[in-house]
């Protein structure tokens, strides 16, 4: 029962961040049954997409699944806590592998 409704990219060369992120939220809303958003992005882009969802009055509409960028940091969520509430974040397990020495 999993369907990927849309695959959107955050533009790297953008002049007006607000317009671009508002446009992304508008595009996501064009698929009314799509509610889960998987986002792997940097701090600033996460903050911008959450702010755009808030401007579009979509607090609580989307279920966010994100990377460790916002699971391990506070900065992307400042003043966007209500939009991000209930988000699931993924932090990969990391381990140091020691260099093996020849015998």
Residue found under tokens 């911008």: 48
Per-residue pLDDT reduced to its tens digit, 80-90? 889 988 888 88
Residues of the chain with pLDDT below 70 are: 1, 14, 16, 101-103
State the burial class of residue 59 (Cβ atoms within 10 Å of its Cβ: 0-12, 13-18, 19+): middle
Q: What is the pLDDT of residue 29?
A: 93
* Structural contact between residues 34 and 8, judged by C-beta atoms closer than 8 angstroms: no
pTM exceeding the 0.85 threshold for the entire prediction = no
**CATH number of the domain located at residue range(s) 23-89 in this protein:** 3.40.50.2300
């Amino acid at each position: 029962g999993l369907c990927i409704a849309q695959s959107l990219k955050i533009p790297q060369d953008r002049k007006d961040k607000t317009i671009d992120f508002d446009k992304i939220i508008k595009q996501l809303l064009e698929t009314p049954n799509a509610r889960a958003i998987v986002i792997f992005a940097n701090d600033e882009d996460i903050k911008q997409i959450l702010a755009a969802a808030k401007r579009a009055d979509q607090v609580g509409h989307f279920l966010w699944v994100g990377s460790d960028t916002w699971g391990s940091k506070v900065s992307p969520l400042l003043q966007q806590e209500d939009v991000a509430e209930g988000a699931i974040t993924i932090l990969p397990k990391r381990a140091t592998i020691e260099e093996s020495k020849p015998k």
